[in-house]
Amino acid sequence: MASSDRLKRRILREAVRENVDVMHGLPRRPLQTAVRLRRPAIQAALLVGLPLLGFFAFNTLSSSAPDRAPWLAAPSAATFSAPRALAPVTASLDIRRIVLDPGHGGNDSGARAAQGIVEKEITLDIARALRALLREEKYEVVTTRDADTFVSLRQRAHLANIERGDLFVSIHVNSVPSRECHAVETYYLGPADDPRAEQLAGKENRDSGYHLADFRRLLESVYVNVRQQESRKLAHVVQKELVAVLGNANPAIRDKGVRSAPFLVLVATESPGILAEVSCLSNDEEARRLAEPAYRQSIARALFLGIHAYADARNRVARLGQAPGSQ
């Protein structure tokens, strides 16, 4: 009887803990028993893996050569076999559910224009308009926030992973020291390819809720992954549409192209993802345009066209069972 009560108490504690985790947006915890069973294997893996991880981290963090992709750089081929990316065809699955991530929110206002417009409001409005457009095309859409609330990057990524989004699109508005900037740029996960991208990633990664150890672990999991290739493709299509649509409304728009940077929200999500800097609030002319609902709708439309074009191509490939680009 006592052991039965103990069992009930333990199971109940697990049930409560799981509920509390859900309330705080945390992912499921790993199986206790499975960990016990696999402990020797894990210990062995740690013995081999930790020095390797340190080696990777050292090379990654200390690399200063701008043309080098430190997280794709494998240790010497004589010592270790180089990691190989998965062929995209192995992940030829339909794209159905899209997670939209309106940047900032709550006490994190993001960039602020002289006119008083704040980034958190712009991104939320664009995300809502984009959601409506995507739903018209029968996509399932999840948003990481639907109100003016603070959601940490960790919570955003957890939500995206729990909801099993097929694509993740984070929406931001740029703000750069030069007030002349009309830049539109789209990022995917990768090493920062210039100091400004690094700075921007650092800014967007603030208040993430992650620790350095988490960051390393997350980075490790994305090296050899189809996710990066797919994210890059999505970024290219979205950037093309952003430039085409917004260029019509504002010929001064500058195509800053597709770039890679280690935005934590992209590192921690499991699906292909991009971070689009859809406009530039530090530019007075852009800020004035962003205050107009029609301009924000154009941005949503451009994002929609890009996402839909990418998803449509992927879905056709999935149905035909061909690798993208093989036609």
Among 164, 203, 288, 319, binds another protein (CB under 8 A): 164
Among 88, 118, 140, 250, binds another protein (CB under 8 A): 140
C-alpha to C-alpha distance for 215 and 160, rounded to whole angstroms: 17
* Binding status of residue 255 toward another protein by CB under 8 A: no
CA-to-CA dists, residue 125 to 113, 130, 145, 182, 299, angstroms: 16, 9, 11, 20, 10
Q: How many residues are listed for the chain in this entry?
A: 327
Tell me which stretch binds another protein (CB under 8 A): 4-12, 173-181, 224-232, 249-257: 4-12
* Binding status of residue 108 toward another protein by CB under 8 A: no
For 5, half-sphere exposure in the C-beta direction (CA atoms, 13 angstrom radius) is 2
* Binding status of residue 312 toward another protein by CB under 8 A: no
* Binding status of residue 270 toward another protein by CB under 8 A: no
* Binding status of residue 38 toward another protein by CB under 8 A: no
Return the closest-CA partner of residue 275 out of 153, 163, 177: 153
* Binding status of residue 138 toward another protein by CB under 8 A: no
* Binding status of residue 52 toward another protein by CB under 8 A: no
* Binding status of residue 163 toward another protein by CB under 8 A: yes
C-alpha to C-alpha distance for 147 and 125, rounded to whole angstroms: 10
CB of 307 vs another protein, minimal distance in Å = 17
CB 252 within 8 A of CB 285: yes
Tell me which stretch binds another protein (CB under 8 A): 109-117, 160-168, 241-249, 288-296: 160-168
DSSP-derived 3-state class of residue 256: strand
CB of 311 vs another protein, minimal distance in Å = 17
* Binding status of residue 28 toward another protein by CB under 8 A: yes
Burial classification of residue 89, based on how many CB atoms lie within 10 Å of its CB (0-12 exposed, 13-18 middle, 19 or more buried):
middle
The single residue listed with the structure tokens 């992209």 is 266
* Binding status of residue 159 toward another protein by CB under 8 A: yes
* Binding status of residue 252 toward another protein by CB under 8 A: no
* Binding status of residue 320 toward another protein by CB under 8 A: no
Contacts of 170 (CB under 8 A, 6+ apart): 101, 103, 156, 263, 265, 266, 273, 274, 275, 276
Number of residues that bind another protein (CB under 8 A): 29
- Residues near another protein (CB under 8 A) are 4, 7-16, 18-20, 22-23, 25, 28, 31-33, 135, 140-142, 159, 162-164
